[in-house]
């Protein structure tokens, strides 16, 4: 490793960072992380903290998962790469496909299409859903519906169904035929409705209204996160996703569950769809599938779609889509080891227990700190605080203040993520109770600087 001064001097000088302005990275140089162990990360100055971000919603098993590291090394030495395009495959990806098929069988999704990450998985599901309708002779179904506040990655398809202007405006025009309905976000919504069950019904009505307006026979799919994550962790009422699924089914619209952060236990259930008792037509996964140690993803495909593609002999079901790294053997080997560890450790159960502890702690902090407008959680280890300048008017907090809170929290022992007015928590699912205490006390310090 280069020495501390060398690294600090060149920090952000010759690279552009995602999701920030180049000038901002130069003015506020990013924290240089050099080591990690368990649920802790260490920076270039030797400061060690609990990582309440979990890498980026992906390091579910922590930073020291030896079986995954070993699987990657062994696979690199045996077969570092081979393509899965027509005509060839590899042993690891065959094995993984059988495992995923079994794991996602309760969700009704038993076929996998491999990608290099979450945005690729979303793109794949959007494209295959259009193709599904074409195979069945309904070529007019090309539009996509989604939720405001939703995050679906940054490819043009994903950005088009994205529900946050930050990821859209500078890249417009986006894909035509993408329409958004209000998210079941009780703290702020156009209906001024704070009751989660009533709000869910209003959002479902808005969905029905939009379908009637567009014409059901023009819509290919509806895409949603079972619990909205990057948009500020917005758990819907339990009636919402089943309601969406029923409306989609009634109108011949496919349901794409974007499970890039919810698959593999984060909500306390093995998938977000299972959490709500829904069987979608596609499930987009990535991130925790390899614990973040290798860029990889899988789109899981539901029975009706699988049957349509598999029974077609006309040529319409030929998949003109795929990535050089689809089914990468090293990613597949990492994913096999990850699945084994994920199930052996029952990380979903720990996510539910630790998530409840963190949620209770955040609610206590809300009693103490006026700046906390809303606390969202209650479904495993995905939680958020929405900070406000004034509770009565819900005026969002100033950017500089939230940055200061984050910095003091970091100096006090926990890395947290700031996104707009939200502080987001997505720690590894192997978190211990003592780590929850560390996160809460560091945050208490951070919030006390306001
Ligand atoms: C729900 C969801 N979908 C898609 C993506 C995009 O994934 P990636 O950044 O791996 O392309 C993310 C990333 O955070 C996500 O949270």
Residues 6+ apart with CB under 8 A from 287: 56, 57, 58, 117, 118, 260, 261, 297
Regarding whether 269 and 394 lie in a shared domain, the answer is: no
The pLDDT score that the predictor gives to residue 445 is 98
Does residue 20 lie within any of the structural domains? no
Does residue 7 lie within any of the structural domains? no
Regarding whether 119 and 38 lie in a shared domain, the answer is: no
58 pLDDT tier (thresholds 50, 70, 90) = very high
Q: Whose alpha carbon is nearest atom 13 of ligand 1? A: 153
What is the distance in A from the centroid of ligand 1 to the CA of 66? 25
Regarding whether 252 and 164 lie in a shared domain, the answer is: yes
Regarding whether 256 and 155 lie in a shared domain, the answer is: yes
Regarding whether 361 and 330 lie in a shared domain, the answer is: no
* Ligand 1 atom having least distance to the Cα of 225: 1
Does residue 207 lie within any of the structural domains? yes
Q: Whose alpha carbon is nearest atom 10 of ligand 1? A: 118
Does residue 10 lie within any of the structural domains? no
Domain residues for the domain of 415 are 31-61+346-447
Q: Ligand 1 pocket: which residues have CB below 6 Å?
A: 57, 117-119, 122, 151-153, 225, 229-230, 258, 260-261, 286
Q: How far apart are CA 328 and CA 261, in angstroms?
A: 21
Name the domain boundary from 319, 344, 369. 344
Regarding whether 203 and 135 lie in a shared domain, the answer is: yes
Query: What pLDDT, in 10s, does the model give residues 361-372?
Result: 999 999 999 999
Does residue 182 lie within any of the structural domains? yes
Number of H helices, E strands in the chain: 15, 16
Does residue 238 lie within any of the structural domains? yes
The pLDDT score that the predictor gives to residue 169 is 96
- Looking only at Cα atoms, what is the longest distance across the chain? 66
Regarding whether 410 and 299 lie in a shared domain, the answer is: no
* Ligand 1 atom having least distance to the Cα of 150: 1
Average pLDDT over residues 322-341: 98
What is the distance in A from the centroid of ligand 1 to the CA of 258? 8
What is the distance in A from the centroid of ligand 1 to the CA of 180? 18
What is the distance in A from the centroid of ligand 1 to the CA of 9? 31
Helices marked H in 215-278 = 240-250, 272-276
What is the distance in A from the centroid of ligand 1 to the CA of 274? 19
Q: Are 20 and 2 in contact (CB under 8 A)?
A: no
Phi, psi torsion values for 243, nearest 5 degrees: -65, -45
235 pLDDT tier (thresholds 50, 70, 90) = very high
Q: At what angle do helices 196-214 and 240-250 cross, to 10 degrees?
A: 20
Does residue 125 lie within any of the structural domains? yes
Regarding whether 40 and 97 lie in a shared domain, the answer is: no
Regarding whether 242 and 146 lie in a shared domain, the answer is: yes
In terms of Cα–Cα distance, which of 154, 197, 200, 153 is closest to 181? 200
What is the distance in A from the centroid of ligand 1 to the CA of 53? 14
Query: What pLDDT, in 10s, does the model give residues 140-198?
Result: 999 999 999 999 999 999 999 999 999 999 999 999 999 999 999 999 999 999 999 99
* Ligand 1 atom having least distance to the Cα of 58: 14
The pLDDT score that the predictor gives to residue 148 is 98
Name the domain boundary from 309, 344, 379. 344
Q: Residue 319 maps to which CATH number?
A: 3.40.640.10
The pLDDT score that the predictor gives to residue 16 is 98
Name the domain boundary from 344, 377, 399. 344
Q: What is the pTM of this model?
A: 0.98
Task: At 217, list the tokens.
Answer: 């026979």
* Ligand 1 atom having least distance to the Cα of 297: 10
What is the distance in A from the centroid of ligand 1 to the CA of 46? 30
Average pLDDT over residues 37-56: 98
Q: Residue 426 maps to which CATH number?
A: 3.90.1150.10
Mutation probe of ligand 1 site: the residue of 18, 117, 287 with most atoms within 8 A of C-beta: 287
Mutation probe of ligand 1 site: the residue of 59, 261, 384 with most atoms within 8 A of C-beta: 261
Q: How far apart are CA 241 and CA 429, in angstroms?
A: 24
């Amino acid at each position: 490793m280069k020495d501390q001064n060398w690294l600090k001097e060149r920090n952000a000088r010759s690279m552009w960072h995602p999701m920030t302005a180049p000038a901002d990275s130069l003015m506020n140089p990013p924290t240089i992380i050099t080591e990690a162990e368990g649920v802790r990360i260490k920076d270039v100055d030797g400061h060690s903290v609990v990582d309440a971000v979990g890498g980026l919603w992906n390091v579910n098993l922590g930073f020291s998962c030896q079986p995954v590291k070993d699987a990657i090394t062994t696979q690199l030495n045996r077969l570092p790469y081979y393509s899965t395009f027509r005509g060839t495959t590899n042993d690891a990806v065959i094995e993984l496909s059988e495992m995923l098929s079994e794991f996602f069988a309760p969700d009704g999704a038993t076929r996998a299409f491999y990608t290099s990450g979450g945005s690729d998985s979303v793109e794949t599901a959007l494209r295959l859903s259009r193709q599904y309708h074409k195979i069945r002779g309904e070529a007019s179904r090309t539009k996509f519906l989604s939720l405001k506040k939703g995050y679906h990655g940054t490819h043009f398809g994903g950005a088009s169904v994205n529900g946050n202007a930050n990821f859209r405006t500078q890249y417009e025009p986006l894909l035509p035929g993408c329409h958004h309905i209000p998210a079941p976000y009780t703290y702020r919504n156009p209906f001024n409705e704070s009751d989660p069950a009533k709000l869910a019904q209003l959002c479902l009505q808005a969905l029905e209204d939009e379908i009637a307006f567009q014409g059901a026979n023009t819509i290919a799919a509806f895409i949603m996160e079972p619990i909205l994550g990057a948009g500020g962790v917005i758990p819907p009422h339990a009636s919402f996703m089943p309601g969406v699924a029923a409306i989609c089914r009634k109108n011949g619209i496919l349901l794409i569950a974007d499970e890039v952060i919810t698959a593999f236990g984060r909500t306390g259930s093995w998938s977000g769809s299972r959490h709500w008792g829904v069987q979608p037509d596609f499930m987009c996964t990535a991130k925790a599938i390899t614990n973040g140690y290798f860029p990889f993803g899988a789109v899981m495909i539901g029975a009706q779609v699988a049957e349509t593609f598999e029974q077609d002999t006309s040529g319409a079901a030929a998949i003109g889509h795929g990535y050089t790294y689809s089914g990468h053997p090293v990613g597949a080997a990492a994913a096999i080891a990850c699945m084994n560890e994920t199930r052996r450790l029952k990380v979903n159960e720990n996510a539910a227990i630790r998530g409840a502890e963190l949620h209770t702690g955040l609610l206590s902090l809300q009693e103490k700190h006026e700046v906390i407008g809303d606390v969202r959680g209650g479904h495993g280890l995905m939680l958020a605080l929405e900070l406000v300048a004034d509770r009565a008017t819900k005026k969002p907090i100033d950017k500089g203040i939230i940055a200061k809170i984050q910095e003091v929290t970091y100096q006090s022992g926990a890395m947290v993520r700031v996104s707009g007015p939200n502080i987001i928590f997505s720690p590894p699912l192997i978190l211990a109770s003592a780590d929850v205490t560390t996160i809460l006390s560091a945050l208490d310090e951070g919030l006390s600087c306001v």
